[in-house]
Structure 1
Amino acid sequence: MKFTLTALALPLLATAAPAPPANPPFTVMAARSASPIHYLQLNAAGQKFWLGGTTASYCPSQVKDCPAGNQTVFAPGGTSMDTEVPGGQQVYIDPNGALSFTQAHSANIPAGSSYGPFVYEAGEPWSHYFYRGWGASGFMACPTEDNRWQVFGALANATVPKGDVNECLGFSAMAITYEGDVPAWQYI
C-alpha cells in the first residue's frame, strides 16, 4: 500500500514544482569553435557590447545597497538591460550596426537605429539570443585596436572598428540563465 501511495504522490509533486521561467534574465557567452572569441563573455561598456574586457557600471553614492555591477545581464526577452535605474536601459542596433544600449534616464536612440527584433530562444542545454533585424541572422564580433571584440548585428554593410567586415567572426550567442538579484544599478 505504501508503494502505491508513493507512486501516486510523485507525479503530483513533480507538477507542483515550479518550472524554470520560459524567458528569464540572462548573460551571453560567445560560441565559435577554434576562434579567439570562443567562450568569451559579452560585456556592456561605453554604451556598446564587447567580447573581452569588463562590464562598466555605475551606482550613485546615495543608493543604499548598490548591486555589484560586474556582470552584464539582459532583462527577459533581451530588449533591455537588467538594471535598477528608473526608466531602464534599452538595447538596439545603432546605424553602424553595433549592438548598443541607451544611457540611463534616457530613451534617446540615434535616428536610423534598429529596435530589433531581438529574440530569446529557450533551449536545452543552451538557450540562444539573436538579432533578426535588417536581414541579419544573429551577431558577429569584430576586432578592435585594444584586443577586444566589438559586437555587431551580423550585417555585411556594418561600419566596423578596423574597417574590414571580413575580419569579423559570426558567433552563436549562448544565453545563460541569470539567477539572483538585479546585477547593476546602471551600465555605462
Structure 2
Amino acid sequence: MFTKSFAPLVATLAFASAAPAPAVIPQDPPYYLKPTARAPGTAVDGGVLNAVNGGLFIGQDTTTDCPGSVYPCDTFTNITAITVSNSGSGASMDAYVPGGQIAYINATGEFGYTAAHAQNVPSTATQKGFTRIEVFGPRETYATVTFKGSNWLACPVEGAASVYQVNAAAVASKTGCVGFEMAAIEVGSSEPQAYEYVAPYTVS
C-alpha cells in the first residue's frame, strides 16, 4: 500500500472586497483535478483534500493500493485527483483500476467513492451534481468544483486533531464545520494518478 502526503498550498494572491462572479464553462471533455481547500483566514485554507478509506479528508494522507506483481506501480504519483465532466455525467476518482471508482455524495453529505472492482454506490447517495466553474475576479481567475451549485464544508473529525472530513454544503446539515471552495488545480495529464484509492467494499 502506498501513502503520500502533500504540504498545504498557501494562497498568495490578494483578494478584492467584491465577490467574483462565477461563470459555468460548458465543456464536455473531462478535467483531471487535484482538489485543495480555499478559505482565506481559516485553519483549512490551502489544505490538500486527500482520498482516505472511501472519503475525502484534510489533514490525513492519501491511501492508495497497487498490485505490484502484475503492474508497474512506480508509474503513479499517488496524489489524490478527481475527474469531473461538465456534461453532467458525474465525477470519479482518477484511478487506473478497471471499472473505475465512482465519486458520490452520501445522504448525510460526506464525499465518498466506490471501492475498486465494485460499483457499490449507496442507494441513498447522489452521483450527479458535480460541476467545474471558472471564477473571474478583478485580480485573479481560478477554477472550483461545486456540488448542486454550492460549495463544501470541512467538518472536524472527532478524536483527530486538525483532521477534517469533506462534506457537500448542499446536502450536509452539520454544525462546527468550516465552509470552503474546492479549488480545482489541473494535474496536467489524462494519465491516472493512482492504480486505486483504498475504499471499503461494504456500504450502507
Q: Matched residues, percent identical?
A: 28
Moved over 6 A (4+): none
Aligned partner of 2:177 in structure 1 is 168
Unmatched tracts of structure 1, length 5 or more: 1-20, 159-164
Q: Distance between the aligned counterparts of 1:90 and 1:178, measured in 2?
A: 19
Q: 1:117 aligns with which of 122, 129, 148?
A: 129
Q: 2:82 aligns with which of 74, 80, 83?
A: 74
TM-score, normalising length: structure 2: 0.71
Deviation at 1:120, TM superposition (A): 1.1
Q: Which amino acid aligns with 2:193?
A: P
Local SS of the residue matching 2:56: strand
Unmatched tracts of structure 2, length 5 or more: 1-27, 199-204
User: Residues 66 and 196 of structure 2 are in contact (CA less than 8 Å); yes or no, is this contact kept in structure 1?
Assistant: yes
Instruction: Tell me the matched-pair count.
Output: 159
Q: Distance between the aligned counterparts of 2:70 and 2:123, measured in 1?
A: 33
CA pair 111-22 structure 1, distance change in 2 beyond 3 A: closer
Higher helix share: 1
Deviation at 1:44, TM superposition (A): 0.2
Q: Distance between the aligned counterparts of 1:57 and 1:142, measured in 2?
A: 23
Deviation at 1:102, TM superposition (A): 0.4
Q: Distance between the aligned counterparts of 1:85 and 1:22, measured in 2?
A: 20
CA pair 155-122 structure 1, distance change in 2 beyond 3 A: closer
- After superposition, give the CA deviation of every residue in 1:103-156 in whole Å (9 maximum; x if it has no partner): 011111112111131111245631110111xxx612111001212100001147
- Which protein is bigger by CA-based radius of gyration? 1
1:129 equivalent in alignment to 2:129: no
TM-score, normalising length: structure 1: 0.77
Higher strand share: 2
Q: Distance between the aligned counterparts of 1:141 and 1:114, measured in 2?
A: 19
